[in-house]
Amino acid sequence: MQQKFFENKKALVVLIAASLVVLVSMGVRQTWGLFYQFFENDLGINRTQFGLAIGVQMLFWGITAPLFGMVADKYGSNRAAFVAFLFYIIGSYIVLMQPVSNSIFLLSMGVIIGAALGGTAVSVPVAAVGKYFSDKNRTISVGIVTGSASIGFFIMPLFTKFSNDIYGWQNTIQYFIYFLIFAAICSLFLFKKEYIDTTSNSFTRDQTTAKALSEAFKHRGYMLLVAGFFVCGFQITLVATHIPGYIQQKGLPEWTAAAILALIGFFNIFGTIGMGFLASKYSKKNLLSILYFSRGVILVLFLLLPSSTFTALAFGVLFGILWLATIPPTNGIVAQIFGTKYLGTLFGIVFFSHQVGSFLGAYLGGYFFDTYGSYDYAWYLSVLLSLFAGFVHLPIDEKPLLRTA
């Protein structure tokens, strides 16, 4: 008998709720760079201060992801995400009130919104969905949720540009707060589901968080997965943060950078959903290796081919397909090895590694440019990291962990 994709109506509700949560959370997050000029003119926030705030945001996003994951595993993803959205709303409101000092701006934009992302963007909603789907269908459902983030990446910057031009940046952030309230209501439908043991026996039913963490940190495959996801964070943040400067350095039209980012957001929809389907049929670790090697090839071609609008746009399409396509197989490996009882916690830790990479991708890109007058060394490092990630996934043992009492 063929297995149903949705085991029950709750699974459908949770999938829709998670998709809307991620769309709003990640969509709003993607737009802050479009406010830089307004923050500089009206709040006196310079480029260094703004960059530091975004870097701190990335770190706190990573730090709080496993913490909110623990809350979600114990009390439910709906409670964890709702509390996180309250932080998101408070942080955005402080920015709207035009903070009078850099420290308050850093607190709101960096710490508070960063902490909020730990419970609203990717890890908690993805874990909530993962618990409602079987091993066969989990990566597909996760691909759908991740793809909704790409819709946010595509729609929200367009809305923000329009709203900033017509209504002003303060009204735009006020609209953001309304969106966040809507998403907070949606998060209440991330219903908690009792743990399904997909490993070997019922011993895991009584497993504590501490024991689960100890078990994961002793598992070679899990640590390799953590190392590999660091590379994903480094690469996508390097591109998202520094592709405008690189395009300017190459003398290409100014609109090219915005077009690249828009293409990345659009084609990532197909990449994440497609990878979700592939990961339900083929080895997840092998797919990840192929993906990271492919990123390296695309980066090399982008650097070596003559700079032109065509090659830049082609880069946006190809890199967009691979952008967040790492998430379905990465999350799927964690669930496949350890089961779903502590999926929020364990994937949250993997995601923390991603955010450390994100911080370094943003920082080192700027550092290399300020030091050497070129982004080339950052791109070279990204290519080397592609090779590292491609090889590091190959030894991962994807088999469910055998546990004995």
| Interatomic CA distance for residues 357 and 229, integer angstroms | 8
Please report the domains of the chain, with CATH numbers, ordered by start residue.
9-392 (1.20.1250.20)
| Interatomic CA distance for residues 281 and 303, integer angstroms | 34
Q: With 90 as the cut, is the pLDDT of residue 139 above it? A: no
| Interatomic CA distance for residues 316 and 263, integer angstroms | 5
Residue 248: CB atoms within 10 Å = 13
Q: With 50 as the cut, is the pLDDT of residue 1 above it? A: no
Least confident of 172-176, 278-282, 341-345: 341-345
| Interatomic CA distance for residues 199 and 155, integer angstroms | 40
Least confident of 162-171, 365-374, 378-387: 365-374
Q: With 80 as the cut, is the pLDDT of residue 200 above it? A: no
**Amino acid, single-letter form, for residue 130:** G
Which tokens in the block code for residue 326? 């790492």
| Interatomic CA distance for residues 113 and 60, integer angstroms | 8
Residue of 217, 196, 229, 263 whose CA lies nearest to 393 = 229
* Per-range mean pLDDT, top range of 79-88, 238-247, 339-348: 79-88
So what's the pLDDT on residue 33?
Answer: 75
Name the phi and psi angles at 208, rounded to 5.
-90, 165
Mean pLDDT across 243-249: 84
Q: Bigger pLDDT: 231 or 135? A: 231
Least confident of 65-69, 117-121, 198-202, 372-376: 198-202
Mean pLDDT value across the chain:
88
* Residue 252: HSE in the Cβ half-sphere, 13 Å Cα cutoff: 20
| Interatomic CA distance for residues 352 and 59, integer angstroms | 8
Mean pLDDT across 69-97: 94
- Collapsing DSSP to helix, strand or coil, 342 comes out as coil
Q: CA torsion 205→210→213→218, rounded to 10°? A: -100
Least confident of 102-111, 145-154, 222-231, 307-316: 145-154
| Interatomic CA distance for residues 277 and 297, integer angstroms | 23
So what's the pLDDT on residue 201?
Answer: 47
Residue 34: pLDDT band by 50, 70, 90 thresholds? confident
CB 65 within 8 A of CB 334: no
Mean pLDDT across 310-320: 94
| Interatomic CA distance for residues 362 and 338, integer angstroms | 32
Q: With 90 as the cut, is the pLDDT of residue 386 above it? A: yes
Residue 3: pLDDT band by 50, 70, 90 thresholds? low
Least confident of 85-94, 152-161, 392-401: 152-161
Q: Which residues contact 165 (CB under 8 A, 6 or more apart)?
A: none
| Interatomic CA distance for residues 129 and 34, integer angstroms | 31
Which tokens in the block code for residue 36? 């830089």
| Interatomic CA distance for residues 265 and 143, integer angstroms | 14
Q: With 80 as the cut, is the pLDDT of residue 405 above it? A: no
So what's the pLDDT on residue 15?
Answer: 93
**What's the pLDDT tens digit per position in 170-198?**
999 999 999 999 999 999 999 887 655 54
Q: Which residue has the tokens 């998060």?
A: 187
State pTM to two decimals: 0.81
So what's the pLDDT on residue 2?
Answer: 54
Which tokens in the block code for residue 154? 């595509």
pLDDT > 90 fraction of the chain, expressed in percent and rounded: 49
Mean pLDDT across 203-228: 87
Mean pLDDT across 376-399: 95
**What's the pLDDT tens digit per position in 10-33?**
889 999 999 999 999 999 988 887
| Interatomic CA distance for residues 396 and 170, integer angstroms | 48
Residue 41: CB atoms within 10 Å = 10
